[in-house]
Amino acid sequence: MTEAVVHIEDFSYKYPYSEKEVLHNVTLKIFDRDFLLLAGASGSGKTTLARAIVGLIPQFYGGEYRGEIRVFDMDPSLTPIYKITEQVGFLFQNPENQIFMTTVLRDIVFGMEFRGFPREEMEERVRWISRELNIAHLIGRRTEELSGGEKQKVALAGLMVLKPRLLILDEPSAYLSPAATKSLLELLRRLNKDLGLTIVIIDHRLDLVVKYINRIVVLVDGEIKLDTDVRSALQENLSKEYGVNMPVISKLYTELKRRGVYCGTPPLDADELVSNILVDQEGGG
């Protein structure tokens, strides 16, 4: 049986000076090797839940905190954040909030220097992540000169060189082109499959992410309303029921199914849809 690396039980949270809870009685398990999409309309509580997992809530933001969260057997409300980040990497939506050194190289190695990594190991890890993220040409640059997408990659590099067991990414596509987002998701899939990295991604662009994830958790007004595998989720009207934008391919699948053209399982991309339709036609003809 797959191990749960994050346990959340009856968790509720309210920010300081707010009269309304952002999260209400959330219960959730995140399992080892999950590639999970945390979805929901703006204001549904996705980022708040991510902050709680990494300990920023309540340690940094304060507020009223009820229930229990355990992350790799640590209580993030009490465990020093630097200890949590040895196991959990958190990519902020705005990379400006994460990059604070003057050069790319210094920013990437900061976490390793803080933890006393040997110089040779730091150099090897920088070479590795520079290849994986295609940022070798940025290593000597000043961070103030970078574009938003470049800063996003540098911030991710600083997390990945620590080789966390769980990676949480808050809207990683916000500063990236569709092509760059696809490259990032391909890397994340390799890390998920080859290294066993557990990944939680928060993103509105389901068109880009559905073929990579195995599970969708949907928040509506601070409560979990859906927690299922990706294909089961795509059989539902996510837009109507939960305020989540349906992928275009899912809308096409729904229409083809309505017309009796295709009755198979929901496809995750256009190539899969075409392939399945051809198989159906060959089987029927």
Give the pLDDT of residue 62. Answer: 94
> What domain count does the chain have?
3
How many C-beta atoms lie closer than 10 Å to residue 140's C-beta?
A: 9
Domain containing residue 30: CATH number: 3.40.50.300
Residue 110, both tokens: 């900061």
pTM for this structure? 0.91
Q: Are residues 147 and 67 in the same domain?
A: no
How many C-beta atoms lie closer than 10 Å to residue 70's C-beta?
A: 16
Give the pLDDT of residue 285. Answer: 47
Is residue 220 in a domain? yes
Distances 125 to 89, 113, 128, 159, 168 between C-alpha atoms, Å: 16, 12, 5, 11, 20
Given 128, 159, 190, which residue is the final one in a domain?
A: 159
**Calpha distance 186→212 (Å, rounded):** 8
DSSP state of 173: G
What band does 205 get if pLDDT is binned at 50, 70 and 90?
confident
Do β-strands 23-31 and 88-91 pair in parallel, antiparallel, or remain unpaired?
unpaired
Structure confidence by residue, pLDDT tens digits, 24-66: 999 999 999 999 999 999 899 999 999 999 999 999 999 999 9
Q: Are residues 255 and 125 in the same domain?
A: no
Q: Are residues 110 and 5 in the same domain?
A: no
Is residue 92 in a domain? no
Is residue 116 in a domain? yes
**Calpha distance 241→220 (Å, rounded):** 9
Which residues span the domain enclosing 110? Answer: 102-159
Is residue 95 in a domain? no
Q: Are residues 270 and 142 in the same domain?
A: no
Is residue 94 in a domain? no
Q: Are residues 78 and 218 in the same domain?
A: yes
Q: Are residues 194 and 128 in the same domain?
A: no
